[in-house]
Homo-oligomer: A and B are copies of this chain.
Amino acid sequence: MSVSIALVHYPVKNKNGNLAATSVTNFDIHDLARTARTYEVERFYIVHPMPSQKEFSSRIIRHWSEGFGSQYNPSRKTALEITAIVDDLSDVAEDYEARGKTAPVFVGTSAKKFPHTIAFGELRKRIEKEEENFCLVFGTGWGLHSSLLEDLDLMLEPIEGVGNYNHLPVRSAAAIILDRLLGNRQRDTNYES
């Protein structure tokens, strides 16, 4: 049983809420791969249906996994070993099946509240039971497009900050969510310093 993450570049929303595709960025790939690796996430799926964008992603990954970069910065190589480039979430499910695993429960993330969201504590418990696989789905741009929501099994409750400002970059949101769901209880300890 395991947790994976998927970073969706299509279908997402643009600034006006309309259907859009975003470009893959170097920063997203490295940040999410490193964060995922830190929390022992099993796979980091880069979701993009466009061949040119898939080729760009795989060039970045190859550079750091095999090329000059793998010598220069081995910790990037280790992080990127868990990445996979796929067209859509059905490819994610297929990748699970190809590895003899049950398809994951797809859990969407959003800055907005949905009617049926799962709370952090609740999802953490289900993960800890180790009876199901989970794939946390993150949107680039202005978030996951509504047409993708029907492919999801659950929506995670949004991260509440302290005030009303609610515009976390996806890189930061993913870090906070992985820490809340998978991090040890270190944050709650109170041992002698």
Interface residues in chain A, defined as those with a beta carbon under 8 Å from any beta carbon in chain B: 15, 27, 30-31, 34-35, 37-40, 73, 75, 78-79, 116-122, 124-125, 157, 159-163, 165-169, 171-176, 179-180, 182-184, 186-191, 193
Closest to A123 in B: B193
* In the A-B complex, the 7 residue pairs with the closest CB atoms: A38-B161, A172-B175, A121-B190, A40-B162, A180-B187, A75-B167, A175-B175
B161/A40 in contact, CB under 8 A = yes
Closest to A170 in B: B31
A189/B120 in contact, CB under 8 A = yes
Contact A169/B35 with A116-B193, A175-B175 known, Cβ cut-off 8 Å: yes
B119/A191 in contact, CB under 8 A = yes
**C-alpha spacing A121/B27, complex, angstroms:** 31
**C-alpha spacing A38/B160, complex, angstroms:** 8
B119/A189 in contact, CB under 8 A = yes
Contact A193/B160 with A171-B171, A175-B176 known, Cβ cut-off 8 Å: no
What B residues does A190 contact at CB under 8 A?
Answer: 119, 121-122, 125
Listed A/B pairs (11) with beta-carbon separation below 8 Å:
A30-B169, A31-B171, A38-B161, A38-B168, A40-B161, A40-B165, A78-B165, A118-B193, A122-B190, A159-B179, A175-B175
